[in-house]
Amino acid sequence: MLYFLGQLGEQFAAFNVFRYITFRTAGAVITALFFVFLFGPGMIALLRLKQGRGQPIREDGPQGHLLTKKGTPTMGGLMILSGAVISTLLWSNLSNGYVWVVLFVTIGFGAIGFYDDYLKVKRMSHKGFGSKQRLLLEALIGGIAAFAISQLAAGAYGTSLLFPFVKDLALNLGYFYILFGGFVVVAAGNSVNLTDGLDGLAIVPVMVAAACFGLIAYLVGSQNYADYLLLNAVPGTAELTVVCGALIGAGLGFLWFNAPPAQIFMGDTGSLALGGALGTIAVATKHELVLAIIGGLFVLEAVSVIVQVASFRLTGKRVFRMAPIHHHFEHLGWTESQVVIRFWIISFVLALIGLSSLKLR
């Protein structure tokens, strides 16, 4: 919304700064951060009052969680989403189609996660929304987003898959791109959801990934930068830098309340929405495969669950003491803080590896 003040720059030079993506990104970070700081305590108090006993804790999980996390309210993703969405609407160029596609997925996945959290709290069970119905809705939202992106990027690799480390290597998937893009969005949402199991574990890697894709969007969205750095340009995606800034600001604000011991959990409301947003930005910038590197921690968590389930069904034996894999390390004797901080380090390292794939000069 404030972007349009930049249109007055010809008459009022002071408004020129609103044209700059870097200025508006900084504004989005600060706005989302202070929004969560300002309204976070009230939202936590309200959710605690409404939920009573808080989020149900898995009885088959680490026994320490039953004592330390019992009674903690969930749906903290509402704090993140409200801050990020309001900040995005305030600072981004609302005539940009990519912004609306990302908001569509973020709010859609957030609504699915909210309903799932609601059922868990209502039933006092860690089982919420039916997995088949939930995945079907996610696939529908992801498919619509992928189709919209293919139309927005019709002149710039609209239905093509680009490969990291190699410039101009593109595979045109045609209509299959809609399925592929939808899969990336759904997989990203559920991978972040699986990672969200310890205080602060998911939100920092999400912010790291958002920062990386903010940079990617800024570079590939500018023809000049893309040409100079030997990147594949995707015009229009630079505006997603502002969206990433809003996610980072809201994430920082949420971390203030989610740091151990957490005052609130983000729940599926936040984890699904944040993962879906990252997946959509990756599809929009044509860096889907890079997301698998930068978000490698999320991939690891998801794969650990897939391997655990497959192994138990096929052989009756478990590969890990417990899945997702962060619980496996808890069972090995790592403290919660050790798991969280070490996984943060892994996330930072993977982000550097992912950024190195951008083929910069």
- The answer to whether 93 is annotated as binding is no
SS3 per-residue string spanning the chain: CHHHHHHHHHCCHHHHHHHCHHHHHHHHHHHHHHHHHHHHHHHHHHHHHHHCCCCCCCCCCCHHHHHHCCCCCCCCHHHHHHHHHHHHHHHCCCCCHHHHHHHHHHHHHHHHHHHHHHHHHHHCCCCCCCHHHHHHHHHHHHHHHHHHHHHHCCCCCCCEEECCCCCCCEEECCCHHHHHHHHHHHHHHHHHHHHCCCCCCCHHHHHHHHHHHHHHHHHHCCHHHHHHCCCCCCCCHHHHHHHHHHHHHHHHHHHHHHCCCCCCCCHHHHHHHHHHHHHHHHHHCCCHHHHHHHCHHHHHHHHHHHHHHHHHHHHCCCCCCCCCHHHHHHHCCCCHHHHHHHHHHHHHHHHHHHHHHHCCC
- The answer to whether 232 is annotated as binding is no
What residue numbers does the annotated binding site cover?
193, 268
What residue numbers does the annotated binding site for Mg(2+) cover?
193, 268
